[in-house]
Amino acid sequence: MADDTPVPLTPGSTIGILGGGQLGRMLATAAAELGFRIHVFVPDATSPASEVAAAHTRADYTDVEALKTFAAAVDVITYEFENVPAECAVLLAGLKPVRPGPLALDVAQDRVREKDFVRSLGIGTAPYAAAATADEARAAFKALGGKAAIVKTRRFGYDGKGQVRVTSADAAAEAVTQLATPCIVEGAIDFKGEISIVAARGIDGRIEAFDPVENHHKDGILHQTFAPSTISAGPGAEAWRIAGAILEALNYVGVIGVELFVMRDGSLLVNELAPRVHNSGHWTMDACNVSQFEQHIRAIAGWPLKPAVRFADCVMTNLIGPDVLNWKTYAAEPHAAIHLYGKRDARPGRKMGHVNRLYPLNGRP
């Protein structure tokens, strides 16, 4: 790759973002605070991110000419969602630095590849097997204990979409047939709770992590994040170790979200990787000295990371669909910070904003 990009990237440089959702929007405003210009690449005519960006390319992720013009107009490229087509990432990476690099995308886009990678580092996951056909699904279900499993699409799942819980081999087979795409069958595990850790790796290899947090879901979508996690005192250091090993192995630059199951014995299994800023890191906007968004921009710009310090406890609540209609209530709470994404249509299941409620340090009720 011909990379003439100065490191660190000079203020006034342009950062390209693939994707225009709320993560892109919050990345864009964080980048603006550091003096950068933002150029958003997104197929939509309007998007949460393009409304706060200096420039906007409206084109498909497969439009080679548009991608080349975009690459020529920016100094570094990042993305706000992991389902960027692989060809797109490879093409761009040949023209300008793409951070995190295509390896992270490649690993995170396929649930089987992701779990293979995690296990190759000696880190645990739920038991799993690939299943592209009904027969393979039946075999996988039996091999995984034959009691309960989750069938998931290998690719393009998010917010619980493309997932079916099954309790028989026939149901597993039917799920794979219905989903009509290569799947993974994951053995159901008996976990105590779900936590995540949002961590960053700088261009110099330095790693900074925010405190691990506890996540509660509703209808397959993240509902609340509790910072810090209080499931148990133990997993903190172990979560750090896991995130660090993953960041190193991917030679990663940027922020990553690592979702973890906390088992009954306190051990941790990796559930999923998100090679980007993560919904469970939104609390950092109001309770830390640096937000995950600024930390990501610092990393991809080759700036030094900030040591991440939490100065308050926080409960982050997503505003999903019509929840946002209660914005007046949240706006009036003295210790709540409200963040809205500028989306017009409050469709069910759509992430419209979030509220961070602050509590004294180590004093969360």
Catalog residues that contact its own copies under the rule CB under 8 A.
Answer: 8, 11-12, 25, 28-29, 32-38, 51-54, 286, 289-290, 298, 303-304, 306-307, 311-312, 324, 327-328, 331-332, 334-335, 337-342, 344, 353, 358
Q: Give the contacts of 188 (CB within 8 A, at least 6 positions apart).
A: 126, 147, 148, 149, 150, 165
Strands 128-131 and 37-42: unpaired
Task: Report, in Å, the least distance between residue 285 CB and its own copies.
Answer: 8
How far is CA 283 from its chain centroid?
14
Strands of 55-58's sheet in order across:
55-58, 37-42, 14-18, 76-79
* Nearest-approach distance from CB 9 to its own copies, in angstroms: 11
245 vs 235: CA distance, rounded Å: 15
Q: What's the closest the beta carbon of residue 52 comes to its own copies, in angstroms?
A: 5
Q: Which is nearer to its own copies, 296 or 298 (CB)?
A: 298
Task: Tell me whether residue 160 or residue 342 sits nearer to its own copies (CB atom).
Answer: 342
**Residue 71: partners with Cβ closer than 8 Å, 6 or more residues away:** 16, 77, 92, 95, 96
By beta-carbon proximity to its own copies, the closer residue of 75 and 194 is 75
d(CA 108, CA 364): 33
CB of 342 to its own copies, least distance (A): 5
- Of 51 and 238, nearer to its own copies (C-beta) is 51
Number of other CB atoms surrounding residue 135 within 10 Å: 12
What are the tokens at 235?
């997993």
CB of 343 to its own copies, least distance (A): 8
- Identity of the residue, 80 or 194, whose beta carbon is nearer to its own copies in the bound complex: 80
Task: Characterize the bridge pairing of strands 183-187 and 14-18.
Answer: unpaired
CB atoms under 10 Å from CB of 152, counted, come to 23
| Between 125 and 318, CB nearer to its own copies | 318
Cβ of residue 352: shortest distance to its own copies, in angstroms? Answer: 8
